[in-house]
Amino acid sequence: MKTLNIIALALLIIGGINWLLIGLFQYDLVAGIFGGQNSAASRIIYVIVGICALYSLKFFNDVSEDRVSR
């Protein structure tokens, strides 16, 4: 499970950097590497990053203030 958490975090960081590039420079790195936003490879990467984001919602439990520190 720890490996899956690390992979999800790494892909979320890559996705965040991609959004940073889009916001600052209007450059989509994923689309640039994989041949445009509508290419199958780009769409797969976008879906994988999105799934990682949904998976990472479970981490809110780990960082919530209601949890007692040990």
For the stretch 16-53, pLDDT in tens is: 999 999 999 999 999 999 999 999 999 999 999 999 99
Residue 1 reports pLDDT greater than 90:
no
**More confident site: 69 or 43:** 43
Residue 5 reports pLDDT greater than 80:
yes
Residue 69 reports pLDDT greater than 70:
no
For residues 8 and 2, what is the distance between their CA atoms, to the nearest angstrom?
10
pLDDT tens for each residue of 54-63 = 999 988 888 7
pLDDT value at residue 61: 83
Q: What burial letters (b/e) apply to 8-23, b meaning 16+ CB within 10 Å? A: beebbebbeebeeeee
